[in-house]
Amino acid sequence: MPEILFFFSVVLIVHAYFGYPLSLLLIGALRGKEVKKGSLVPSLTFIITAHNEEKRIQKKLENTLRLVYPRDKLQVIVASDGSTDRTNEIVQRYHNEGIEVLELTERKGKEHAQKVAVGQAKNEIVVFTDVATMLDPDCPHHIVSNFADSSVGCVSSEDRLIRNDGKPSGESLYVRYEMWLRRLESRVNTLVGLSGSLFAVRKGLCEDFSGEMQSDFRMVLNCVGAGLRAVSDPKVIGYYQDVEEEKQEFDRKVRTVLRGLTVFFQHLHFLNILKYGLFSYQYFCHKLLRWSVPFLLVIAFLANILLATKSSLYLFLLLTQSSFYILGIGGMIWSIPFFKTLFKIPGYFLTVNASILFAWLQYFKGKRVVMWVPTER
């Protein structure tokens, strides 16, 4: 039994991070689905959600005004989620520039603010973005080119994390992996999740927009349920600063996974492979299997301890696992630059899976996250 548990766990862990993208590569080689981009200029509504963003909102609005797109086809709404600082006042200064402020007196969370703003959206494509995310001037044209393909319902940006000095963040390796995986999913079928900082949707898919569930995940499910697909475009880039405080980043990851678990378990019908085909496999691998890795790591380690006395191979594997975890813990707790660089990958791997495990524990306790807490960057 320990051998079965060990190999079963290891195989699933490897498949979660390597087997799944490899299977997408193979499927893509056989039946790739390229996005048929075209030149079109549909009307757009940009929805910017904000809560007490007086320090950053002006920079975001100036960035938005630099977007290259016909002004008569661009509506910009700032959905202020119960802001109590000068956010609303600052946005109101841009009224003559065509920027609308939607003042929500009671704070109910990001998705609720987005839902109310969708009700005021006048245009056929809705773009959701955060205050902390900066865009290139030609971003709108890159976004809408994807909607020339009638099979596309949602378009996600690719994330670019930067430090205060403008250089790539230390998390960039993990982010690059995620962006690469999105490209594979786009080529094969559809994304499983969008980038919450910047994504676009056909307005018709927003008819049952949830004010409580994670919009960047649930909108993909709306899209797939309507027979459409979500794609990622490497030319649509959202730039935002990395979080300097590690605890804040850990808490952000916990909230993200906890919100994702809430959406997943309320939409288990998408695991029906007879109805949803390839997407069911993606839904399982990218979400449930990835979120199961912390449990699989524990099972693999405990089983390996029981097997270590049986052969030198199992002893070697136990020492390898232990060394990896020691390196990872070193990367998490040591602030010495040399050690942080040397142990960065195992440290980040452990941090991610620790945040997932903590999210599971909160989910089992019945905790749910609706309220949106902007991360200080």
Element (H, E) at 2: helix 2-14
Query: Could you give all domains of the chain from N- to C-terminal order, each with its CATH number?
Result: 2-16+274-364 (no CATH), 44-242 (3.90.550.10)
Identify the pLDDT of residue 344. Answer: 74
Distance CA 223, CA 227 (A): 7
In contact, 194 and 156? CB cutoff 8 Å: yes
Per-residue pLDDT of 151-196, as tens digits, reads 999 999 998 877 666 655 545 677 788 889 999 999 999 999 999 9
Q: Which residues are paired to 154 by β-bridges?
A: 201, 230
**Tokens, residue 87:** 């956010």
Cα(281)–Cα(194) distance, rounded to whole angstroms? 17
Q: Which two tokens stand for residue 302?
A: 């405990």
**Distance between CA atoms of residues 195 and 256, nearest Å:** 11
Query: Is 189 buried (19+), middle (13-18) or exposed (0-12) by CB count in 10 A?
Result: buried
pLDDT for the residue 137: 95
- Half-sphere exposure (Cβ direction) of 229: Cα atoms closer than 13 Å: 24
Provide the angle, in degrees to the nearest 10, between the axes of the packed helices 290-307 and 2-14: 150
Mean pLDDT across 339-346 = 67
The length of the chain is: 377
Contact in structure between 117 and 109 (CB atoms under 8 Å):
no
- Give pLDDT, residue 14: 96
Residue range 32-42, pLDDT digits in tens: 888 999 999 99
Pick from 207, 221, 217, 208: nearest CA to 269 = 221
- Rounded to whole angstroms, what are the CA distances from 7 to 3, 147, 315? 6, 44, 15
Q: Is the pTM of this model over 0.75?
A: yes
pLDDT tens, residue by residue, 52-71: 999 999 999 999 999 999 99
What integer is the mean pLDDT of 299-306? 94
Q: What is the distance between the alpha carbons of residues 11 and 198, in angstroms, rounded to a whole number?
A: 34
Contact 144, 40 (CB under 8 A): yes
